[in-house]
Structure 1
Amino acid sequence: MATVSTLSRLDAGSLALRMRLDALTRQVADGRKGPHYGDIAPQARLAIDLRADLARREAWQGNIDTAQARTSVTQNAMQRIADIATDFYEKATKLDGTSATLISAVATQARAAMTEIANLLNETHAGQYVFGGTDSANPPVPDAAGIASSGMAADIAAAVAGLAPGNAATVAAATLAAAASDAAGTTPFSAFLSDPARGLSELRQAVPTGEGQSIDYGIVANRNAAATSGGAQTTGSWSRDILRGLATLAALDPSQAALGTDFTDLVASVRVGLRGAIDTLGVEQGALGATEERLQSISRRHDDLTITLKTQLASVEEVDMAETLSRLDATKTQLEASYRAIALVSSLSLTNFL
């Protein structure tokens, strides 16, 4: 009976050692204390809280990364638009009515530039139109290729065609009104962006960056975001002002140079409008750049805090590998000794015992 009792105790001890060895082997394999929260009691609640905080920060970081990608595309498009506007501002300074060839060339180039700008306002990132506001699945300029013959361009061309002695200011006002119009059939912008109840009144797109925090970053095709347009020759929107200037230049006829002052006054209004639009666009770019810097700063802070949280979580959920390996070796030694003891006791006979 004593031998049986001894064997039972040895078997129970061996089983406990085997279970400990299995647990240590798994810990060495995955580095974790265990697959269940019970394995890390009483710090399970802390682990849950840390994981929840990590998940929130990863979501915010993902939002920021997406917003930064969109702002980068937006900045590149705006810079190209600014370059085009600057180029035509400089061209307009040379239109003094003395060269019919130059007037024709600038008109042709302006029509092509309108198409390029319309396509720039239709820039996309990850399949979404960055200048489309919340209607990001649809182009803000539905017919970019045909913008030079849009209702806005046609109205401006009709106004320019009516240039006559003494009415340059009236013609300029008519081109301004056409560019500012949100009427269907006139505006080149989408129905969504032109709707006072939707695109024209919606808030800027914003990115959640923290608990109860967000940063505005969206810019739409037909109205300003952070910048304010000023002066007599503005629609209130840098994009409309640029398109108005280009459409006016595109509609010029070399024969109108003979009107002298009226021709140069109309061209001067184009220059003033383009200059104001270029300055306003620069302010818009600067404001968006400041937003990008804020997003980058917040992103770095989330990265730093994520590292800290992961370190804290590791201290709760993960094992000390050096200590675990040492315990694994010790347990193996104990288990081998247990097996030898069981084998020895099992081989004892009554004769050997006596």
Structure 2
Amino acid sequence: MAIAGIGSGTLARLVAQSSTLKSQLTTLSAQSVDGKRGAFYGDIAGQAARAISLRGGIARGEAHAQAIDRALGRTAVAQDALKRLSSVAETFLEEAGKVSRADTSRIGALASNARQAIAEVASLLNTRQGSEYVFSGADAANPPIPDPDGIMTTPMATGIAAALGSLAPGNGSAVLSATLFAASSNVAGDTPFSNYLLDPARGLSEPRQGTLAEDGRIVPTGLFANRNAAASAAASETGSWSRDLLRGLMTLANLSPGQTNAGTDFDAVLGSVKAGLKSAMTALGEESGALGISEARLEAARTRHAEVALALGSQLSDVEEVDLAATLTAMQDTQTRLQASWKALSMLSGLSLVDFLR
């Protein structure tokens, strides 16, 4: 409000005071609605840089927490698959232990069950979490077993079948060498595994995938269908729990009662199967255990992010938000002072300039 002819003095100061009080009331009114000191960083003056830094820290923590949630979803699915794969290996290790040359009645049923188990293993290796295949390494958009229904027609399966078909007294060692060769191949097309996983320049040499749980800290979570991720391969002839498991099942799938005529060579083949299945079980346990350690680390990181977010949020609130109770009190006080100022201004503005100057 302005009064013509008066640029200084009591009336001018009162006008300025009223204008200031009105501006303060407008600000306090806005703050009482949304609890914020202002809509722009300029409204918090020297605290703007701190607010930006705090918001950046909160955003990074949220991004890490979201990545951890996705990773834990994948690891939970992977753990279920590993558990079932281990159960398959354990079941057939037990069943193979019941077979002997003296009792051939179990062999036919065992071979049939092994063929069904091979299909289940292929399906488990193609386990997905959402759109991602958990055993595909970095190639998560594509299945590690491209043709699970045709697994028994791969050179790995047919090679093992041919070797078992030749089992006879005196050639047990040659049969085992042939099954090992078929199961260990990294030539594209020779095994059920994808070309990506078998490529020396890509999947065969890539490091284990991980999750960025915190700035500069990656937790390993990736798995491979064709090779071990964390498990030791020291006790494995093929070097991989999946190959040990498939080799054993494919060998059992091609057993027949007549092969017991090979005598001790039959025993050697069966003994190799049991050793391979036991090795697969051990490695699957190691994979599951290592993944469990990673899950614990991820969960601990997620908890830390939640705690840090709470602390940073509190600090940001101190910078950007007002004390609502204090704001409402200040707004009421300012409104009272403004009304008094307007009343005084109204009274003074009614005087003539001559009366005012007397």
The two structures have a TM-score, normalised by structure 1, of: 0.92
Taking the TM superposition and a 5 Å limit, the aligned residue runs for 1:63-78 are 63-78=67-82
Taking the TM superposition and a 5 Å limit, the aligned residue runs for 1:48-197 are 48-197=52-201
Structure 2 counterpart of 1:34, from 38, 62, 65: 38
1:91-127 CA distances to partner (integer Å, 9 max, x unpaired)?
1101113454421111111111111111111111130
Q: Aligned AA for 1:325?
A: L
1:313 corresponds to: 316
**Contact 1:229-1:277 at 8 Å conserved across structures:** no
Structure 1 counterpart of 2:255, from 252, 256, 274: 252
Question: After alignment, is 78-87 or 165-174 more displaced?
Answer: 165-174
Aligned length: 353
Q: Does 1:214 align with 2:252?
A: no
1:311 to partner: Cα distance: 1.1
In structure 1, how many angstroms separate the alpha carbons of the residues matched to 2:335 and 2:148?
75
Q: Aligned AA for 1:107?
A: A
1:189 to partner: Cα distance: 0.2
1:136 is paired with a residue whose SS is coil
1:193-215 CA distances to partner (integer Å, 9 max, x unpaired)?
01111100011102222232212
Structure 1 counterpart of 2:17, from 13, 20, 37: 13
Question: After alignment, is 293-302 or 150-159 more displaced?
Answer: 293-302
1:276 to partner: Cα distance: 1.0
Query: CA RMSD, aligned part only?
Result: 2.4
Q: Aligned AA for 2:286?
A: V
**Contact 1:230-1:276 at 8 Å conserved across structures:** no
Structure 1 counterpart of 2:232, from 225, 228, 231: 228
1:342 to partner: Cα distance: 4.2
Question: After alignment, is 189-198 or 295-304 more displaced?
Answer: 295-304
Q: Aligned AA for 1:206?
A: G
Q: Aligned AA for 1:303?
A: A
In structure 1, how many angstroms separate the alpha carbons of the residues matched to 2:195 and 2:309?
43
In structure 2, how many angstroms separate the alpha carbons of the residues matched to 1:155 and 1:198?
26
**Contact 1:28-1:325 at 8 Å conserved across structures:** yes
1:10 to partner: Cα distance: 4.7
Q: Does 1:341 align with 2:344?
A: yes
Q: Indicate the percent of aligned positions where both proteins have the same amino acid.
A: 48
1:46 corresponds to: 50
1:272 corresponds to: 275
1:33 to partner: Cα distance: 0.7
2:212 is paired with a residue whose SS is strand
In structure 1, how many angstroms separate the alpha carbons of the residues matched to 2:309 and 2:210?
23
Q: Aligned AA for 2:332?
A: D
Q: Aligned AA for 1:42?
A: G
In structure 2, how many angstroms separate the alpha carbons of the residues matched to 1:316 and 1:347?
45
2:211 is paired with a residue whose SS is strand
1:186 is paired with a residue whose SS is coil
2:213 is paired with a residue whose SS is strand
In structure 1, how many angstroms separate the alpha carbons of the residues matched to 2:69 and 2:62?
10
Q: Which runs of 5+ in 1 are unaligned?
A: none
Q: Aligned AA for 1:243?
A: L
The two structures have a TM-score, normalised by structure 2, of: 0.91
